[in-house]
Amino acid sequence: MNINKLLDMQAALDEHIQAKHDLGAENLVERKILALLVELGELANETRCFKFWSLKGPAGKETILAEYVDGIHFILSLGIEIGFVPEIPAALKKHGNDLTAQFIAIYGYIGEFRTKLDEPSFQKVFTEYLYLGEMLGFSAADVEQAYVSKNEVNYERQKQGY
């Protein structure tokens, strides 16, 4: 995954949105954190990993991937807003395959990041989110391609007054 390419794309999208919505230099960290939490919930909902009461299976891989990259958009946007550049770890530490536990852990890491607003907690959110993507079966190439596609959709939505 070419993180610099994605950061450049995200910065351009953020600038477009801020200009279009006359946000100027408004600090959007809190709103972006909430947006990330909401997107994480939407992703969990599509995986259905916590829905022990239901026999219905998860959404298709494309749907789950689209929801996953929504989270990537907000993580990158938060990094840009605060001035942190996420690093892709050489190898992700595998510490289980329980999706429910991973979602809950990421919620906790986002909360910690919100409290500290420091680079190590930001990197932890990014790393654990990448690990979630790996748990979901996504390659770095899958994520990059889906991010590029969703970025185009986000521009179209802005043009249409989304």
- Count of alpha carbons within 13 Å of 30, Cβ hemisphere only? 2
- 3-state SS assignment for residue 158: helix
Structure tokens at 145: 């391609």
Angle, helix 29-47 to helix 61-82, in steps of 10 degrees: 160
Structure tokens at 49: 């990993």
User: Quick one: pLDDT at residue 108?
Assistant: 98
What is d(CA 65, CA 42) in angstroms, rounded to the nearest whole number?
11
List the CATH number of the domain containing 43: 1.10.4010.10
What is d(CA 53, CA 47) in angstroms, rounded to the nearest whole number?
14
**8 Å CB contact between 72 and 6:** yes
**82-104 burial code (b ≥16 CB/10 A, e <16):** eebebeeeeeeeeeeeebeebbe
The answer to whether the pTM exceeds 0.85 is yes
User: Quick one: pLDDT at residue 39?
Assistant: 98
The 10s digit of each residue's pLDDT in 30-71 is: 999 999 999 999 999 999 999 999 999 999 999 999 999 999
Tens place of pLDDT per residue across the chain (162 aa): 999 999 999 999 999 898 888 888 789 999 999 999 999 999 999 999 999 999 999 999 999 999 999 999 999 999 999 999 999 887 776 767 899 999 999 999 999 999 999 999 999 999 999 999 999 999 999 999 999 998 888 877 777 776
Structure tokens at 31: 């709103």
User: Quick one: pLDDT at residue 90?
Assistant: 79
- Provide the 10 A C-beta neighbour count for residue 11: 14
Residues spanned by the domain of 65: 3-159
Contacts with 132 (C-beta within 8 Å, 6 or more apart), sequence order: 68, 99, 102, 103, 106
User: Quick one: pLDDT at residue 99?
Assistant: 96
Q: How many domains does the chain have?
A: 1
